[in-house]
Amino acid sequence: MTDMVVVAVVSGTTRAESVLVEAARRADESDTVVHVLYVVGLEWYARLELHLAERLGIPTGSETIRSICERKADRLAAPALEEYEAVGRVGNPIDEIVQYAEQVGADTVVLDGAGHWGGGWWRRSSSLLEQLRERDVPVVPVY
């Protein structure tokens, strides 16, 4: 197996299975691994932290939210993939995707090209895909 990684972004989509299938196909072709990434944006983080702390009485903090994101990634990936690494991140989604892709040496980032990314994910003047490409992230959109 090589040191290269295919990152499947499963947050911001209702079609995670399609993203995971494409990521698995690409990983098989290049004999590499799939990392399943679930990112919570800062707006969602604030709402989730408030919900957990005030309504449910659960301790919060970025590590707690990251752990929740990791479990979501795992829950989405388990039915579709045999081998993968589930990863949760909190922050500006574009920055988190770019930083994670650089951190693991991703040769491909697969995501939903028509995803519902919500407010605050990107500048209104350009799409998420355009911003990732501007930052030299090797993006493969799934439609």
Among 2-11, 24-33, 117-126, the least confident range: 117-126
Among 6-15, 43-52, 87-96, the least confident range: 43-52
Q: pLDDT tens digits for 51-98?
A: 767 766 666 677 777 898 999 999 999 999 999 999 999 888 899 999
Predicted pLDDT at 59: 65
Amino acid, res. 33: V
For the chain, give every domain's residue range: 5-142
Amino acid, res. 106: A
Tokens representing residue 48 in the block: 């989730």
What topology is assigned to 5-142 in CATH?
Answer: Rossmann fold (3.40.50)
Q: Are strands 5-9 and 106-112 parallel, antiparallel or unpaired?
A: parallel
| Prediction pTM value | 0.84
Neighbours of 17 (CB within 10 A): 15
| pLDDT exceeds cutoff 50 at 125 | no
Predicted pLDDT at 116: 58
Mean pLDDT computed over 11-33: 94
- Collapsing DSSP to helix, strand or coil, 33 comes out as strand
| pLDDT exceeds cutoff 90 at 21 | yes
Helices of type H across the chain: 16-30, 42-50, 62-77, 93-104, 128-134
